[in-house]
Structure 1
Amino acid sequence: MMLCVPMFVGAQTLTFTDHEPMGNMRTQVTRQFFRLVEQESKGRIRIDHHWNGELSSSYDAYETVREGTKADMATVVPEYDSQRMPLHQLFKSFLAGPSGEAQVALIRKAYKTIPELTEELHHAGIHPVLVATGYPVGFYSREPMADLNALKEQTWRTASFWHISYLENAGATNKRIPWGERVSDSLRSGAIDGIMVNIDSGWDIGAHRAAPHLLVSQELWLGHIYLVAMNLDRWNALPPKDKRAIERAASKTYKAMGKTMDESYEQMLQQLSNEGCTVRRLTHEEVSDFVTNVRQSEVQERWVKEKESESTADVRRVFEKLRSLVQHAHRGTVPLCS
């Protein structure tokens, strides 16, 4: 049965932009969030949503929402604006972490207990109304790999500066190639041996056809943050009852998000298998060994010291708080938020 939400005369419309097409796991979660916003506000808020980069590319989304002219809200990826959001880069520094409900709980707890994260966004002129992540990272390779030790002396492609350091510490060479067809071409030609990327992005470019061997684990959580962010002035101008409606909608979205993530992950692996990709799930011990072997702690400490030398406020305190949360969550000790 379809639930119809009456629209009030004079209801305010918030314009939203996303760089991805409607229909994948994350965008479906975002769309459901908007339905809930309209329901919880009893029609006082309407979301005019635009997808597939119609109003802004992923790299321009932050500026688009900060300016607030073309859009009131946007999906903002902090990794693409590291100068304005340095503290948010810490999420992706952790190779391993929780999945599903535990991952959602971790993200929510991080924003509740580390106020510097929201303060950083407010200083940048935006307010987070929903925080989501994506699929875990995977290793697509042209040839079968017995384990991640096989990365040594191979040539790979990844994008994150964290992951580049980890690949290099594993003994691989990283080759910088713009994302898209050129990556697929490089896999087909043998210019690279594989790619380290979130598994859905590999699927999107057909990486599994040229690199049909995938090593993956839900513990390789990626830590790629997607913020549904609102222009800060627009947020501050909302009546308290509308802010509360948005927060209730977010809470309901979070409660369903973990299950959606788990189900979508299994569906994605099944799709890859159906198309001939050999999928092997790494064990917990293999993931733990990889984190140790690529010297994650050393890379993190070096980055924190760099930011301290640049006078990045609160970076060590935020890193230590987030590290504690990730470690506890990975052991299953972070309680779900209400």
Structure 2
Amino acid sequence: MQAIAKLAERIDEHFVEACHLLLACKGRVVVTGMGKSGHIAGKVAATLASTGTPAFFVHPGEASHGDLGMITRQDVVLALSNSGNTEEILTILPIIKRLGVPLIAMTGNPESTLGRLATVHIHVGVEQEACPLGLAPTSSTTAALVMGDALAVSLLQKKGFTRDDFALSHPGGSLGKRLLLQVCDIMHRGDEVPMVADTVLVSEALLEMTEKKLGMTAVVDHNRHVAGIFTDGDLRRMLEKNLDVHATRVCDVMTRPCKVIQADILAAEAMQIMEAKKINALLVVDENKNLQGALNMHDLLRAGIV
């Protein structure tokens, strides 16, 4: 915690210069590091890539055996090394320099070889490791990780990266589903949609609800125009009044007007509507309010929205 707190003063002109180099990069950010720093470098590369800055990790040991071919003159190299003298990284420095690729170094020693030869150096040194022996990389790796995240977030903000942009690189996760999935992707269609005419008795509406198993039925006119919705709640209120399901028309006890949505809105927005209105189902209509589909809370749960 102490190491992280002291990083605030390291957000200086060097950090800003590093951001400018990364923003100007026409290729990709090549992140490298050895050992524990390598694990941190891999995470930093992944965070950059998922927030709008194309990046990938290159193992410095493999780089000197052919993987340097991954680096082009359009790229920027971000190298992590607590000592700043990691042999595997220093071995590939001449090639990086020959390519004319900007080098951002993140080390714990500005006077190290890597610190001195870098285009920009960001100081992430710590006074001591959290390890009681003062040996295992703990505070130092955490400080490097935090600074890497700071770079990624700064670039994200400068580029105007949005939630929708983030979702495009995370389509398989729950966040991607929340941000990209539309009602039309998960709603019930065709014969799956419970629907009765506004002239039928409640008993017929109950049969439709039982068959379609959505806990409600749409009530429509002869043009499939939504007149209302009949739900389990409407049934309970009707029974409280001792009304006969075999003698009462559904149009006399249905909910109207009912809340409807269109198929092209986000499923997450449909969930917000359900929560705000304290309802468990929604009818999906077109611009003329003709019935297109149906959606309930269980559909949202299955889709991973809730």
Question: What interval of TM-score do these two structures reach, taking the shorter chain for normalisation?
Answer: under 0.3
Q: Which has the larger radius of gyration?
A: 2
TM-score (structure 2 length as normaliser): 0.26
